[in-house]
Amino acid sequence: MTDSGTDVPEDLTDRYREYGDERLPPGQRETDEFPVLSKGSTPSWDPESFAFEAWGAVDEPLSLSLGEFRDLPAVTQRQDFHCVTGWSKLGCEFTGVPFATVAERAGVDEAAEHVLFHALDGYTTDLPLSECTEPGVLFAYGYDGDDLPADHGGPIRVVTPHKYAYKGAKWVAGVEFRTDRERGYWEKRGYSDTANPWNEERYGSDRL
Ligand SMILES: Nc1nc2c(c(=O)[nH]1)N[C@H]1C(S)=C(S)[C@@H](COP(=O)(O)O)O[C@H]1N2
Ligand SMILES: [Mo]
């Protein structure tokens, strides 16, 4: 893995303090397991031909092999993980490339305001660009000092500790920078666009 895997991870588990004293968001229960939650089965991918791509409102579209992606500067962080179905796993250790690093490499246009993530299983999810450049948003390829397991989104997944976990695309292969918003898979099906766990933004109130 990376050298950063041996460093003491940066602790980002205090995100909840902005919203009160409770680390566990309302309506969540803590689990020690790491459940697998996917809309379908784990897709297969070929490590030789896998490409991570960034396109859209950027100066330099990116197409990186897995090796090239892993050569980008990485960080290791401890973060909490909240699934909208009600379980939370606290203190997960993820290693990966900050979203902001990828955005910087791609040279994002000033007009870009939204991001749509594309995954190998056909899953998509969207966020405002300003919510992606926060420090906890990683393209993670390591978990607990090992490669990220395939069921959890390996080779690369997004993690979004400030949002319910459906905002973090597993098996992510594409990041599209957009000037307008295109809703993702669950957002189109009624889940909240904003997905803040401490405000229990589970469903899109305008679309129920
Ligand atoms: N590509 C893809 N990403 C996905 C999903 C999915 O079905 N496909 N499910 C989402 C949901 S609802 C959750 S809770 C988390 C679950 O991640 P885990 O299986 O590692 O626990 O992945 C999110 N990312
Ligand atoms: Mo979820």
Could you report the per-residue pLDDT of 51-66, keeping only the tens digit for each?
Answer: 999 999 999 999 999 9
First-to-final CA distance of the chain? 44
pLDDT at 182: 98
Domain parsing of the chain, residue ranges: 10-18+49-194
Those residues with Cβ within 8 angstroms of residue 111's Cβ, 6 or more apart along the chain or in another chain: 57, 179
Amino acid present at 175: V
- Distance (angstroms) between ligand 1 centre and the Cα of 195 equals 14
pLDDT at 6: 53
Q: Is residue 15 scored above 70 in pLDDT?
A: yes
The response to whether residue 111 sits with its C-beta less than 6 Å from ligand 1 reads no
- Average the pLDDT over 101-107 and give the result: 98
Number of H helices, E strands in the chain: 4, 12
Name the more confident of 204 and 114.
114
CA distance 68 to 127: 25
State which of 34, 37, 121, 202 you would mutate to test the pocket of ligand 1, scoring each by most atoms of that ligand within 8 A of its C-beta: 37
pLDDT at 103: 98
pLDDT at 207: 54
State which of 31, 32, 34, 38 you would mutate to test the pocket of ligand 1, scoring each by most atoms of that ligand within 8 A of its C-beta: 38
CA distance 29 to 3: 34
Mean pLDDT, rounded, of the chain: 95
Q: Is residue 162 scored above 60 in pLDDT?
A: yes
Cis peptide before 155 (omega within 30 of 0): yes
Q: Is residue 2 scored above 90 in pLDDT?
A: no
Nearest to 161 by CA among 80, 66, 40, 84: 80
What is the third-level CATH fold of 10-18+49-194? Sulfite Oxidase; Chain A, domain 2 (3.90.420)
Those residues with Cβ within 8 angstroms of residue 94's Cβ, 6 or more apart along the chain or in another chain: 76, 77, 79, 138, 140, 142, 143, 148, 159
Contact yes or no for 52/62 (Cβ under 8 A): yes
Q: Is residue 145 scored above 90 in pLDDT?
A: yes
**Total-model pTM:** 0.95
Q: Report the run of H or E that residue 176 belongs to, with start and end.
A: strand 172-178
The response to whether residue 165 sits with its C-beta less than 6 Å from ligand 1 reads yes
Give phi and psi for 198, each to the nearest 5: -75, -20
